[in-house]
Amino acid sequence: MLLAGVLVVLGVITALVVADRGDKISTVPASPAAAYDSRAPNVVVVMTDDQAFETMRAMPLTRRLIGDAGTTFDNAFVSFPLCCPSRATFLTGQYAHNNGVRDNHPPAGGYQALDKQRTLPVWLSRAGYETGFVGKYLNGYGEGAAIREVPPGWSEWYAVPGRNKQRAFDFDLNENGELVHYDRRGERPNYKTKVLADKAAGFVRRRAPGERPFFLWVATNGPHKDSGLPEDAARNPEPAPRDRGRFEGRRAPRRTATNEYDVSDKPRSVRELPLLGPEANRLIDRYYVSQLEAVASIDRLVARLARRLRRAGELEDTLFIFTTDNGLLLGEHRLEGKSRPYEEAIHVPLLVRGPGFARGEHDTRLVSNVDLAPTILDATGATPDLTVDGRSIRPGAGGPRRRGVLLEVFERNQSFTGLRTPRYTYAEYEDGERELYDLRRDPEELDNLARDRRYEGVRRRLAARLAALRDCAGPSECG
C-alpha cells in the first residue's frame, strides 16, 4: 500500500453507521486494518445473472455511462459458465479447480464449498475498505439454519436467502442478520431489482464521500428465470411493472446455429437433442423478451448508482465494473442454457470505467472473470492471502497477452475442459469426445474440426496447451 495520506486504524473495523430509510445496519466485524491509502479508488461491481449477450441492446444507460465513459472488453469470457462457480471465481481470482467450487450444489460446490475467510471482501476490509453486498450471493447461501448468516469481510449485507432467490416479488432479504420481507401488495409493489437498487444507493449515500474508500458488489437476480411461475406465464423472468410489454413482439436472434440441423459432429449430449419445434421456439422468444424487459430495470439501477456517485463527487474516482456471471444459449445448437464451451455461454459483457481506463476504448485482449479480483486488488493495493490465477487488466499492469482462456465444467454428463484462444475453441470431454472450431472461418461453431486431418497440427498444439493449463496455479502458469 502507498503510505501517502495513510491513516493508522487500530482495532476491528465495524459497520456502525446511522441507518436511514429503514436500512438495518449491524456491527458485523470485519478484519483489522493496519492502514489504508486515502487516495485508493472506490470499487462498484454490478453483476447480472444468466444474461444473454444480445440483451445488452436493452441497456443503453449502462453502455453510455460505463462503456462510453470507460473501456469495453470485446473478448471477455467466463471460465466456468455456471452461476456459483463463476461467482466463486470472482471472489477468489481462482479457477474452479483451485477454489474448490465446482458446481451449484454440495458436495462439489455451492456456498458451502467456498473458503469464506479467503475472499475479496476480506482482503479489502483488511486494507481499510468499507464493504457492501446487495443481492444474490452464491447458490446454497441462506438455507436452513444459516439463513441469517453474514459471511466474513462485509460491513453491510443485504442478501436474498436461497429459499426465494429467484422470485421477483414476495421475497425476504437478510439485512445484516435480520430477515425483512418485501411483498407485492399495494399501489407500488416491491419489485426485487428496485429494492436492490434502493439498498445499493443507500450504501453509496452513506459511504460517499467518506473517510474510507468502499467496495460495493451488487449481484442482481435478473435476468435469470424466476421460480414458482406457471409454465404458461406471460413473462419469466417477471419484469418491473413499468417495463412489461416494452419489447413485445421481439424475437430471439435467428442465427444459422439456432436449431442447428446437422449436429452429427457434436458431442453425444447434443446429438441426442431433437430439433426445436414451433412451441419450443415460441417459448425461447418469450424468454428473450422477458430478459430484455428484466434488464431494463438493471439499466436504471446502474444509472442510479452513477448519479449518486456523481452527486457525491466520487464517480471519477470509482472503479465501476459491469458484467454477468455467465452467458446463455437461446436455441443455438438446439440448446437453452449454459455450462457449454459455445460462444453464447462463455462470452460475456465486460465494461469498466475509472482511474486508468481510457474513455471510449475497445480492448480486444482475451480476458476472463478470473482477472476481475486481481484487477481490483491491483487498483486498491489490497493483498490476497492465496495465490490468484488471473492477471490485472488495468492498462499498464504488465504481463504478456493471454494466449487462451481456460474453460472448465464439472457437471455430470457434460464435463469438459477447454481453451478459448483468439482464433479457436477447443474442448475435451470426460468421455473422450473432442470439439474444435475455427472461429475465424466458422464463428457460429457449426463444423467440428476435431477429426479433420487438415487441423491435426492445430489440435495437437491446443491439446498440449490445455494439458498445461488444466491444473495450473498462479498467473505465471495460468496466464
Q: Which pLDDT value is given to residue 258?
A: 96
Asked whether residue 124 is assigned to any structural domain, the reply reads yes
Q: What is the DSSP letter of 65?
A: I
The CATH number of whichever domain residue 253 belongs to comes to: 3.40.720.10
Strands 329-330 and 336-337: antiparallel
| Residue 261: count of CB within 10 angstroms of its CB | 9
Buried b / exposed e over 320-351, threshold 16 CB at 10 Å, is bbbbbbbbbbbbbbbbeebbbbbbbbbbbbbb
Asked whether residue 432 is assigned to any structural domain, the reply reads no
What's the domain range around 249? Answer: 6-402
Residue 9 pLDDT > 70: no
Strand partners for 367 = 76
Taking the C-alpha atoms of residue 281 and residue 147, their distance in angstroms, rounded to an integer, is 38
Q: Which pLDDT value is given to residue 39?
A: 81
Spatial neighbors of 457 by CB under 8 A, at least 6 apart, are: none
Per-residue pLDDT of 461-478, as tens digits, reads: 999 999 999 999 999 999
Among 62, 104, 50, CA closest to 290:
50
Per the CB < 8 A criterion, the answer to whether 203 and 196 are in contact is: no
Per the CB < 8 A criterion, the answer to whether 309 and 204 are in contact is: yes
Among 448, 414, 273, CA closest to 340:
414
Asked whether residue 455 is assigned to any structural domain, the reply reads no
∠ Cα 204 90 205 (to 5°): 0
Q: Mean of the pLDDT values across residues 287-307?
A: 97
Per-residue pLDDT of 401-456, as tens digits, reads: 788 999 999 987 789 999 999 999 999 999 999 999 999 999 999 999 999 999 99
Asked whether residue 467 is assigned to any structural domain, the reply reads no
Asked whether residue 450 is assigned to any structural domain, the reply reads no
Asked whether residue 420 is assigned to any structural domain, the reply reads no
The identity of residue 248, as a single letter, is E
Taking the C-alpha atoms of residue 395 and residue 64, their distance in angstroms, rounded to an integer, is 21
Q: Which pLDDT value is given to residue 224?
A: 95
The identity of residue 94, as a single letter, is Q
Asked whether residue 417 is assigned to any structural domain, the reply reads no
Among 406, 425, 422, 408, CA closest to 466:
406
> Is 0.85 topped by the overall pTM?
yes
Name the grid cell of 144: 436452513
Asked whether residue 415 is assigned to any structural domain, the reply reads no
Q: Which pLDDT value is given to residue 188?
A: 73
Strand partners for 7 = 36
Taking the C-alpha atoms of residue 335 and residue 295, their distance in angstroms, rounded to an integer, is 22
Name the grid cell of 356: 486508468
pLDDT band, very low/low/confident/very high, at 146 (cuts 50, 70, 90)? confident
Per the CB < 8 A criterion, the answer to whether 351 and 64 are in contact is: no
- Give how many domains the chain has, as a whole number: 1
Q: Mean of the pLDDT values across residues 266-285?
A: 95
Q: Which pLDDT value is given to residue 353?
A: 98
Per the CB < 8 A criterion, the answer to whether 255 and 444 are in contact is: yes
